[in-house]
Each structure stands twice: as C-alpha cells, then as structure tokens.
Amino acid sequence: GADIGPQKDRVVTEEEWLQKWEMGNTGFHKEQGHPLLQKYLDLLLNGRSGLRIFFPLCGKAVEMKWLADMGHSVVGVEVSEQALKEFFAEHSLPYCEEPVPEISGAKKLQSTSGNISLYCCSIYDLSSSIVGKFDGVWDRGALVAVNPCDRQRYVSLMITLMEKNSSYLLVTVSYDPNKHKGPPFYVPESEIKSLFGNHCEIKCLQKVNDFSDKHRQWGLDYFLEVLYILKFGA
C-alpha cells in the first residue's frame, strides 16, 4: 500500500455516505450518464443481448435505465435508500419494495417491469445465492469508493459474482494520493493486477483527462479517469 500514500488507512463510514446523499453532496453523480460506458458499451456486451448487468454501489446511475431499456436486466446495490428512490422518481418508474429475507434490514426495490432490481444494503451482505451471477459489470465510482483496507474483500466478492465469459468495465482514478485524502481513492494499475490478475485478463482501454476546478480546489494538479476491461474466461 506504499504507493497509495496516506490513503491506505483512510476509512469512510456508511453514515458518511448516507450523509452525502442527504446533503446533496453527490458531485460523483453524472446526470448525463458516463461517456466511457457509451463509448465502450459494445465491448461490455460483446454482441450479446438480454444480459444480467451489475452496478456495484450504484447510487442513482442513469445508465441503469439506459441498459434496461435496451433489454438487459440490471441489478444494483447501494446503501442509501434515498439514492434508489430518487432513481425511480427521476425516471418516473413505478416500483415495488420488499424485504430481502437473507439480509436483516435490507430491502429490494424492483421496477414494476421487473428488469431493474436495486438492493438497499451493504454490498458485503450480498452473495451469488442472493443476487445470482452477472454477464457484465459497470464499476464506476465503486472500487474507488471502497475503503482501501476493504479492497481485497470487495474484489473477492465481485469475482464470485461473475459468470463464465463475462466482462467487467472498471473505471479508476489517478492523481497524487499525497495531495488528496479521497474518496474517490487512487487505485494504481499494479493494484488492479494484484487484485484481479489471477482471475481474468486485464486490459487498459483509455486514460481520460478529467481535471476540473473541483480537483484544483482539492489541491491536485492532475486527475485522470482510467478505464479497464476485465475479461473472465470459460
């Protein structure tokens, strides 16, 4: 963890994430959807239709609606019930709510059409016996939001949720971790390789300069988004 500097001991609590949603402090939410998913969607889908696609720490990501409208089945998990309710409200989607028997206190919010199921709980409470396995994952803002000490736990869980021949689009961020405490946390490429490398083929697709005034205010002088595709074999 030396190359992530002082971030390796940083912990953000569930309460802090809930508070971000309550205060509307959600600069990470992209109203228009993410350009990298639009650009590389074909790589994720790989010519297949009717996939099961997982959004870890989904917030109210607009791409969930977009993929469901293409005929895919979308599953998300998010600790903030407010975020999930805002997702359904903002897209005028009717939904029903039910408890998740296997997880104390958890709820599942499912669109009436049945193709979007969002779990309100800690991601670490999920397992493939509860949510099944996935053909595709869009991980933008999830791995980089997980506390650095929990990365191994998070990745181990994600690997158990992957179907054979599945694809995982992963967006990380790159900046000087000595200048900003995160989140989003800096995840170096070497760490992606050590976390996932034994389980899939990893390819870096693109690095995008995403530097803005916000990052300047954080004290940074550069900020990149880095997109990987992880391919799980048969």
Per-residue confidence in pLDDT tens, the chain, 234 aa: 457 889 999 999 999 999 999 999 999 999 999 999 999 999 999 999 999 999 999 999 999 999 999 999 999 999 999 999 999 999 999 999 999 999 999 999 999 999 999 999 999 999 999 999 999 999 999 999 999 999 999 999 999 999 999 999 999 999 999 999 999 999 999 999 999 999 999 999 999 999 999 999 999 999 999 999 999 998
Residue 123 labeled ligand binder: yes
Around Cβ 206, how many Cβ atoms within 10 Å? Answer: 13
Residue 97 labeled ligand binder: no
Residue 23 labeled ligand binder: yes
Residue 27 labeled ligand binder: yes
Q: Would you give the DSSP letter of residue 25?
A: -
Residue 218 labeled ligand binder: no
**CATH code for the structural domain at 35-232:** 3.40.50.150
Taking the alpha carbons at both ends of the chain, their separation in whole angstroms is 32
Residue 25 labeled ligand binder: yes
- Gap between the Cα atoms of 218 and 215, Å rounded: 5
pLDDT of residue 1: 46
- Gap between the Cα atoms of 176 and 223, Å rounded: 8
Residue 78 labeled ligand binder: yes
pTM of the complete model: 0.97
Residue 48 labeled ligand binder: no
- Gap between the Cα atoms of 113 and 204, Å rounded: 36
Residue 158 labeled ligand binder: no
Residue 198 labeled ligand binder: no
User: Facing residues of 137 across strands?
Assistant: 54, 168
139: Cα separation from own chain's centroid? 3
User: Facing residues of 52 across strands?
Assistant: 73
pLDDT of residue 4: 85
Residue 229 labeled ligand binder: no
- Gap between the Cα atoms of 226 and 39, Å rounded: 14
- Gap between the Cα atoms of 152 and 143, Å rounded: 10
Residue 162 labeled ligand binder: no
Which residue type is seen at 184? Answer: P
Residue 24 labeled ligand binder: yes
pLDDT of residue 5: 86
SS3 content of the chain, % helix, strand, coil (to 5): 35, 25, 40
